[in-house]
Amino acid sequence: MTYPHIVMAQGAHDRAGVRRSDQAWLDRTWADPATRVLVIAAGRLRPANGRPDWISTAEAPDGLRLLLGEHEGVWHFALLLDEVPAPPEFWVGLRTIIQALAEGSPGEAPLVFHAMGLAEWHQATRFCPRDGTRLQPRAAGHELACTSCGRAQFPRTDPAVIMLVSAGEPGSAEEKCLLGRSPAWPAGRYSTLAGFVEPGESLEDAVRREVAEETGVRVGEVEYFGNQPWPFPASLMLGYFARATSTDVAVDGHEIEDARWFTRAEILAEAEAGTVVLPGGVSISHSLMEHWYGGPLPGNWR
pLDDT for the residue numbered 2:
72
Instruction: Look at residue 300 and tell me whether its pLDDT is greater than 70.
Output: no
pLDDT for the residue numbered 1:
66
Q: Is the domain covering 158-293 a CATH 3.90.800.10 domain?
A: no
Instruction: Look at residue 231 and tell me whether its pLDDT is greater than 80.
Output: yes
- Say which residue, 167 or 279, is predicted with more confidence: 167
Tell me what the mean pLDDT of segment 149-156 comes to.
95
> Domain residue spans in the chain?
4-124, 158-293
Tell me what the mean pLDDT of segment 1-22 comes to.
89
Q: Is the domain covering 4-124 a CATH 3.30.310 domain?
A: no
Digit-coded pLDDT (tens) for 86-144: 999 999 999 999 988 888 888 999 999 999 999 999 999 999 999 999 999 999 999 99
DSSP calls for the chain: ---HHHHTTTT--B--GGGTT-HHHHHHHHH-TT-EEEEEETTEE--BTTB--EEEGGG--SSEEEEEEEETTEEEEEEEESSPPSSGGG-B-HHHHHHHHHTS-TTHHHHHHHHHHHHHHHHH--B-TTT-PBEEEEGGGTEEEETTT--EE----EEEEEEEEEESSTTSTT-EEEEEE-TTSPTTB-B-EEEEPPTT--HHHHHHHHHHHHH---EEEEEEEEEEEETTTTEEEEEEEEEES-------SSS-SEEEEEEHHHHHHHHHHTSSBPBPTTSHHHHHHHHHHTS-----B-
pTM across the whole model: 0.93
Query: Do 158-293 and 4-124 fall under one CATH topology?
Result: yes
